[in-house]
Structure 1
Amino acid sequence: MNKNNLIRSFALGAALLSLASCDSPPKQLPYEQGPIYGATIGGPFTLTDQNGKRRSYDEFNGKYRMVYFGYTSCPDICTPDVQNLMAGLKLFEKAEPELAKKVQPLFITIDPQRDTPAVLTQFVRAFHPNLIGLTGSKAEIDAVSKSFAVVAERVEGSSPENYLMSHSQTPYLMLPDGKPVALLPVDNPKTEANEGSPQAVVAELVKWVR
């Protein structure tokens, strides 16, 4: 094994060291074995990114898309979810830098009333330099949420500005053709199975990104 391959293998092994299944390291799988491969999830859209630029789903064709729906004011779920997902992507970048270039993370708000481009800018900067935040009109967000089978509902609070958004927690990994292949692990980062840890995200990316 040459020096570069040795370094690459060591980095990947270190990233996956804390996985409960470390005695059986993750490996690439045929797309057809993806748990949501073939599902009717996703589809073309055009939204506005954190810089105010209109971005289409199809412009990312050729890349694996990590797609997470949430909102920046979420009190206890979205921030740790995005943190774990982006920490996992960073580990994958260290272990597989060339493959990681094929991955584009997207954060789509389900609260466009508050999540303006300026708000999204501060949010995405905190997690990963390549993370793109997307917002739009309520009609645009409703249409995108529906196409990705995401359920979101406003829960009124003590004032019109103080409300929560109840929503499904489904981070998708989409193939280069824009179709779904797997759900990325989030939540319960301290469980015995390490289900929501950054290392678990790495393990999932290793299975599908090639």
Structure 2
Amino acid sequence: MIRLYSALAVGLIAALLGGLGYMVFVGQGQTVLAQCRGTSISGGGGSIGGPFELVDHTGRTVTEADFEAKPTLVYFGYTFCPDVCPLDTARNAQAVDLLAEQGYDVTPVFVSVDHQRDTQDALAEYVRFMHPEMVGLTGTEAQIRAAAQAYRVYFALQETDDDFYLIDHSTFSYFLLPGHGFVDVIRRDQSPEQVADVLSCFMDNA
């Protein structure tokens, strides 16, 4: 198993997210959803999310406005990731399918942090394999960094002399609701069933 976080990454994420995953966060003006939350976010939920402009796997330029109409589960990773990203993305896809069986419609989104290798074609192949409704997003390095900063996502290229480089990155998924924006993060230790339960709670109480 490759090392996913450097010491710097761990420190940065801990500082940014303030013990994410072990306390209950009550959002400003969103106490009706507090019963569904299992996380605490430094600075509040309003500090996560914001404007971005990226390109989807079909070549279409999209912004945050294109995902405001439906519940959306967002994950930042890269297609060359050998272990963590495929597992997390497959978990999200399974959760979306479980929710579909219950009548919920959630869009899974995969945002690449690898602007060099994750071309439109590479993303298209990846998301088609993961889930038929999954949207893949990429862009220039500046566009990707702007989106990552909006969601407080850490990522950093590991130094290497060849094209087989790896990227350290945070592994949270982000759930967005129409009319609310970002409402909670999903940790990678949560099962598809647990993710589906959390997301359905939010959708039932929104």
Q: Secondary structure at the match of 1:113?
A: coil
CA contact (8 A) 1:107 1:134 kept: yes
Aligned pairs for 1:32-51 within 5 A: 32-33=34-35, 34=37, 35=39, 36=41, 38-51=45-58
Question: Which residue of the partner structure matches residue 143 of structure 2?
Answer: 140
Q: How many correspondences in the alignment?
A: 169
Say which of 172, 175, 178 aligns to 1:173: 175
Q: State how far apart, in whole Å, the 1-side matches of 2:67 and 2:202 are.
A: 17
Q: Which residue of 1 aligns with 2:192?
A: 198
Q: From 162, 182, 186, give the equivalent of 2:184.
A: 182
1:184 to partner: Cα distance: 1.9
Instruction: Determine if the alignment matches structure 1 residue 84 to structure 2 residue 91.
Output: yes
Q: Which residue of 2 aligns with 1:208?
A: 202
- In structure 2, what is the Cα distance between the partners aligned to 1:178 and 1:145? 19
After TM superposition, give the deviation of residue 127 of structure 1 in Å.
Answer: 1.6
In structure 1, the partner of 2:71 is 64
Aligned-partner SS, 1:134: strand
Q: TM-score, normalised by structure 2?
A: 0.77
Q: Distance in 2 between matches of 1:45 and 1:110?
A: 14
How far did residue 157 of structure 1 move? 2.7
2:171–2:187: 8 Å Cα contact kept in structure 1? no
- For the residues of structure 1 that align with 2:62 and 2:193, how far apart are their CA atoms? 30
CA contact (8 A) 2:96 2:107 kept: no
Residue 178 (structure 1) shift: 5.6
Q: Find the partner of 2:128 among 105, 125, 130.
A: 125
1: CA distance between counterparts of 2:193 and 2:97? Answer: 10
Question: 1: distance between equivalents of 2:58 and 2:45?
Answer: 33
Instruction: Give 1:209 shift.
Output: 1.3
What is the distance in 1 between the residues matched to 2:116 and 2:177?
Answer: 30
**Greater relative CO (CA pairs within 8 A, separation 6+):** 1
The residue matched to 2:90 in structure 1 has which SS?
helix
**Per-residue CA distance 1:157-202 (angstroms, 9 max, x = gap):** 341x121100111101112136221112424xxxxxxxx3211111
CA distance in structure 1 between the aligned counterparts of 2:72 and 2:176, rounded to whole angstroms: 5
Unaligned runs of 5+ in 1: 1-28, 188-195
How high is the TM-score relative to the length of structure 1? 0.75
In structure 1, distance between residues paired with 2:112 and 2:151: 13
The 8 Å contact of residues 56 and 62 in structure 2, kept in 1 or not, is answered as yes
Give me the identity figure in percent. 36
The structure with more radius of gyration: 1
SS at 1:157's partner residue?
Answer: coil
In structure 1, how many angstroms separate the alpha carbons of the residues matched to 2:167 and 2:180?
A: 27
**Unpaired runs of 5+ in structure 2?**
1-30
